[in-house]
């Protein structure tokens, strides 16, 4: 009897260690977005927006992977909470066959909702291209899963993190892009929402049903923007943050619209509010440096981003920003927890954990 008990216990441990309990409910995680959630797609593209060098990844097994962080991204941590493996980058030639069964990451540094955003960096998968890439994954999944694909996609979760580059690497660069002359901030926000909604409907029509759509954080507070000299020392660039209102409020309304579709379960992540809370009361969250990158050069360590083999700050958990543009792993962990467990103010109208309980 004792040996039978031991075998049963061993099976239970194996079951849990593989994250099977989570992945039964959420079989796969599909990630669409920009450098905030890129896990190495740009390593395989002809782009200067790359992070496949040290000290990126210094807290990720001391190994650069193409993640734009010292450690884990927001979606890495969400994946751990869901009990699914890290979705592999779509562009990796090894991302084929059974590796796709836990989901795929399509995110690409410098990518925007608009095809032209970030084009001065070279190749990247824009939102529309990421949707096409997802279609090609479906062709492979169909051969493996067959008629169960509909149920598999309906239970899977898609996370989308877009919009920052449409501002940082488009609207706020009038010397390269014309959008600033063509549209008022509110017109530009509405243009982004219209394009975004179109692609979200395409993903819905392809079979995805559960979506977590992250809003844009206060990009006027990133070291790159603080280093622009447009704000007083210690201040964020307020007019940049104010531009984002149309998009973030509109994204929340877009979620309400999408939830009216049969089977759709869509949530909006209040990134702006969550990062704002950290910046407004950093010591409560364990941070003491809010205005500089941990790795970077120039004013606010934000004029030139983290270069190969640069020496980063040793106290990385006390920094909000890792480099000129991206948060540290410590911030990503807070954002992930708030998206997963948070109240309505953090994740509207439900959080990711609640999303997993809906069949």
CATH code of 95's domain? 3.40.50.1110
| 19 is a domain residue | no
From residue 242, alpha-carbon distances to 164, 222, 239, 295 in Å are 13, 14, 5, 27
pLDDT tens column, 175-208: 999 999 999 999 999 999 999 999 999 999 999 9
Residue 11 belongs to a domain: no
> Is 70 a domain residue?
yes
Find the catalytic residue in 35, 95, 108, 347: 35
23 is catalytic: no
pLDDT of residue 7: 43
- Would residue 326 show up in a list of annotated catalytic residues for this protein? yes
**Bigger pLDDT: 11 or 228?**
228
Sorting pLDDT into bands at 50, 70 and 90, what band is 359? confident
User: Smallest Cα–Cα separation from 90: which of 47, 134, 126?
Assistant: 134
Q: Read off the pLDDT band of 158 (50, 70, 90).
A: very high
Q: Are residues 153 and 105 in contact, defined by beta-carbon separation less than 8 angstroms?
A: no
Specify burial of residue 62 (Cβ count, 10 A radius: 0-12, 13-18, 19+): exposed
Q: Which percentage of the chain shows pLDDT scores above 90? A: 91
In contact, 217 and 236? CB cutoff 8 Å: no
Told to judge if 277 belongs to the known catalytic residues of this protein, a careful annotator would answer no
- Using one digit for the tens of pLDDT, what is the confidence trace for 53-107? 999 999 999 999 999 999 999 999 999 999 999 999 999 999 999 999 999 999 9
* Amino acid 25: pLDDT: 86
- Cα Rg, the chain, nearest whole Å: 20
- Chain-wide mean pLDDT for the chain? 93
In a domain, 20, yes or no: no
Question: What's CA 182's distance to the chain center, in Å?
Answer: 28
Spot the catalytic one: 23, 47, 326, 347.
326
Of 59, 76, 291, 323, which residue is the catalytic one?
323
Domains in the chain, number: 1
pLDDT tens string 194-253: 999 999 999 999 999 999 999 999 999 999 999 999 988 889 999 999 999 999 999 999
22 falls within a domain: no
Residue 9 lies in a domain: no
How confident is the model over 315-321, as a mean pLDDT? 98
Contact criterion met (CB below 8 Å) for 268 and 251: yes
For residue 119, pLDDT over 80 is answered with yes
> Is 12 among the domain residues?
no
Please say if the pLDDT value at position 315 is more than 80: yes
- In-domain check, residue 123: yes
Residue 8 has pLDDT above 70, yes or no: no
Residues ≥6 apart with Cβ < 8 Å to 91: 40, 41, 42, 43, 44, 45, 125
Q: What is the pLDDT of residue 16?
A: 40
Predicted local confidence at residue 6, as pLDDT: 43
Show the domain range for 232: 29-357
């Amino acid at each position: 009897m004792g040996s039978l008990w031991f075998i049963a216990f061993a099976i239970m441990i194996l079951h849990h260690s593989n994250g099977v309990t989570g992945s039964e409910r959420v079989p796969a995680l599909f990630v669409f977005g920009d450098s905030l959630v890129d896990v190495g797609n740009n390593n395989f593209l002809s782009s200067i927006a790359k992070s496949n060098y040290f000290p990126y990844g210094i807290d990720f097994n001391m190994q650069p992977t193409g993640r734009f962080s010292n450690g884990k991204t927001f979606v890495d941590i969400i994946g751990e909470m869901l009990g699914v493996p890290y979705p592999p980058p779509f562009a990796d030639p090894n991302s084929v066959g059974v590796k796709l069964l836990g989901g795929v990451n399509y995110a690409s540094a410098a990518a925007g909702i608009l095809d032209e955003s970030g084009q001065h960096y070279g190749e990247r998968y824009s939102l529309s291209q990421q949707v096409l890439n997802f279609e090609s994954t479906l062709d492979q999944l169909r051969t493996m899963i067959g008629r169960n694909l509909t149920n598999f996609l309906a239970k899977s979760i898609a996370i989308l993190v877009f919009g920052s580059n449409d501002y940082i690497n488009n609207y706020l660069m009038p010397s390269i892009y014309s959008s600033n002359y063509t549209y008022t901030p509110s017109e530009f926000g509405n243009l982004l929402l219209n394009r975004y909604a179109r692609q979200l409907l395409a993903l819905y029509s392809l079979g995805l049903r559960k979506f977590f759509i992250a809003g844009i954080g206060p990009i006027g507070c990133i070291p790159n923007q603080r280093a622009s000299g447009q704000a007083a020392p210690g201040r964020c660039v307020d007019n940049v943050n104010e531009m984002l209102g149309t998009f973030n409020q509109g994204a929340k309304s877009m979620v309400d619209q999408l939830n009216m579709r049969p089977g759709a379960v869509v949530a909006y992540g209040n990134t702006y509010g969550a990062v704002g809370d950290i910046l407004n009361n950093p010591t409560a969250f364990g941070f003491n440096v809010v205005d500089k990158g941990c790795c970077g050069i120039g004013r606010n360590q934000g004029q030139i981003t983290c270069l190969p083999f640069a020496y980063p700050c040793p106290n990385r958990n006390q920094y909000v920003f890792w480099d000129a543009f991206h948060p540290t792993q410590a911030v990503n962990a807070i954002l992930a927890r708030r998206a997963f467990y948070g109240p309505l103010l953090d994740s509207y109208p439900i959080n990711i954990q609640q999303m997993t309980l809906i069949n």
